[in-house]
Amino acid sequence: MAAVRKDRSPTLGLTVGLVITLAAVVMYSAYTSRQITALRALQNDLIDRDRKDSLQLLRIQNDLNSLALAMRDMLDNDEPYPLAAWSSQFQRIRADLDDALSKEAQVSPHDRALEQRQYLGTSLAQFWDAAERMFSMARAGKEQEARAQIRESLQARQAALSTAVARLLVQNNESEEAATARIAGIYDRVERQVYGFLGATLIAILITGVYVIRSNRRLFARVAALSRQRSELARELISAQESTLRYLSRELHDEFGQVLTAIGSMLARANKQLPEGSDLRVELQEVRDIAQTTLDKVRTLSQALHPVMLEEAGLEHTLEWYLPTFERQTGIKIRYEKTPITIDGNGAIHIYRVLQEALNNVARHSGASEAWVRARSLPQEWRFEVEDHGSGFSPPTAKKGMGVVAMRERAELLGGTLEFLKPSEGGTLVRLNIPREHPEPHAQ
């Protein structure tokens, strides 16, 4: 019984704690959502409308001030041209005022009295009627009567309009201050609720955390032991795989290759002993061609299983042979970018296998028609990359297979890291980083 209690899974307790926590989060989220909705409605209906309305009122006020300055200049009579010449300026200001007044009516606060909404339009209409009469007098040569109209009517109407606009601006400011105070109250309530919720959540997290730590300490130790066993098993599998592939490669190259070479030589000698134009000679030549094709395929397969040139010429020359071969077999265009680097020994084998598996994943999963292979010598490390811009493959799913597991194990054997990244163009970027100080690979 004691052993059973020691290995008991904390799933039930964690599930109960999770349900309670989720229920609390849902309830608090609903409350917060209602508060935020009310706050957003208040901001949209009051503050935003007040600010937009104030901008249009300021625009109207600016146009009224322009009218006041124009009328002052008209009364000063310092300009050499008659009053009728000011008509075009008044028309420009009127067009801008009409546009501002129309937009202001669309964003004016809902609580504004109907009389206030109608006052600006009515007063402006009366102002422009008086202005038209003034300009009619000016065009008729009655300059003095027109100036009297400005002093007695237009200036007073302009001042009344400016006062009304200023009053509306003050009302908007007061409304915005009241809305700000209401928003502050909502924030205060939400803040108090947040502190209470955080306190309860922290207590729940503390209790759950203590339980998890006590329950999972043994599980973590077991997982660590299993991980070490898995790593050792993976390394043994890699070693066995390389040994098997090396053996098969040598058998294909030495035994089958020599047999096929001998068959080709015997067919060649037999072919020479037959007369020209003999049907048997043609058939022997066909058989010899088949034997030569088979020999080429055997050599290619031998190189694919374990390239002999890895041990003879190093990783750089092996990649220069393998990438065009992969390109011909899959139809995927390979762009190879490199800096001078030579890696041999077991390090070259591991790096070659990682790149080989990454390219196989490109062919199987990405659907891309082009890929990039990069080999770079950096100051502190060597970096190898395989990139495609296709659909890629998901590393979490790929971890279930031996391919990616072997890639990671090979990277760890070299003291390096293996990353699965997503380029900005989409697809997959597999990056292998190997420190220079690692004893296995070395650069010349």
- Do 201 and 328 have their domain in common? no
pLDDT at position 5: 44
Please answer whether residues 321 and 303 qualify as being in contact, where contact means their C-beta atoms are separated by less than 8 angstroms: yes
Residues lower than pLDDT 70 in the chain: 1-10, 13-14, 39, 41-46, 78-79, 110-113, 117, 231, 234-235, 238-239, 241-243, 245-247, 249-258, 260, 271, 277, 279, 296, 299-300, 302-308, 344, 392-402, 438-444
Enter the pTM of the model: 0.44
Which candidate, 115, 232, 217, 212, places its Cα nearest to that of 164? Answer: 115
- Do 45 and 170 have their domain in common? yes
Beta strands in 315-380 (DSSP E): 333-338, 370-377
- Do 195 and 335 have their domain in common? no
- Do 326 and 192 have their domain in common? no
Using CB atoms within 10 Å of the CB of residue 346, give its burial: 0 to 12 exposed, 13 to 18 middle, 19+ buried. Answer: middle
* Within-domain flag for 237: no
pLDDT at position 386: 93
- Do 200 and 321 have their domain in common? no
- Do 207 and 313 have their domain in common? no
- Do 315 and 204 have their domain in common? no
- Do 197 and 314 have their domain in common? no
Token pair recorded at residue 433: 């980083």
* Within-domain flag for 66: yes
* Digit-coded pLDDT (tens) for 258-288: 676 777 777 777 767 777 767 677 777 777 7
Terminal-residue alpha carbon distance, the chain: 63
* Digit-coded pLDDT (tens) for 167-219: 888 887 877 777 777 777 777 777 787 777 778 877 877 787 777 777 777 77
Which element (helix H / strand E) includes 417?
strand 417-421
What are all long-range contacts of 417-425, with beta carbons under 8 Å and residues at least 24 apart?
A: 418/354, 420/395, 422/392, 423/387, 423/389, 425/389
CA atoms within 13 A on the CB side of 197: 19
Q: How many domains does the chain have?
A: 2
CA distances from 224 to 149, 220, 355, 362 (A): 97, 6, 29, 32
- Do 206 and 318 have their domain in common? no
Q: Cα Rg for the chain, rounded, in angstroms?
A: 44
* Within-domain flag for 68: yes
- Do 188 and 332 have their domain in common? no
* Within-domain flag for 221: no
* Within-domain flag for 272: no
pLDDT at position 396: 47
Please answer whether residues 358 and 388 qualify as being in contact, where contact means their C-beta atoms are separated by less than 8 angstroms: no
- The amino acid at 88: S
* Structural domain range at position 114: 9-211
Helices (H), 77-150: 87-107, 114-139, 143-149
Which element (helix H / strand E) includes 396?
helix 395-398
* Within-domain flag for 191: yes
* Within-domain flag for 234: no
Q: How far apart are CA 71 and CA 402, in angstroms?
A: 89
Boundary (domain end) residue, out of 195, 211, 227: 211
* Within-domain flag for 283: no
CATH number for position 370:
3.30.565.10
CA atoms within 13 A on the CB side of 145: 11
Boundary (domain end) residue, out of 211, 241, 266: 211
Distant-in-sequence, close-in-space partners of 362: CB < 8 Å, separation ≥ 6 = 332, 368, 371, 386, 388, 390, 428
Boundary (domain end) residue, out of 161, 193, 211: 211
CA distances from 374 to 142, 144, 340, 410 (A): 89, 89, 11, 18
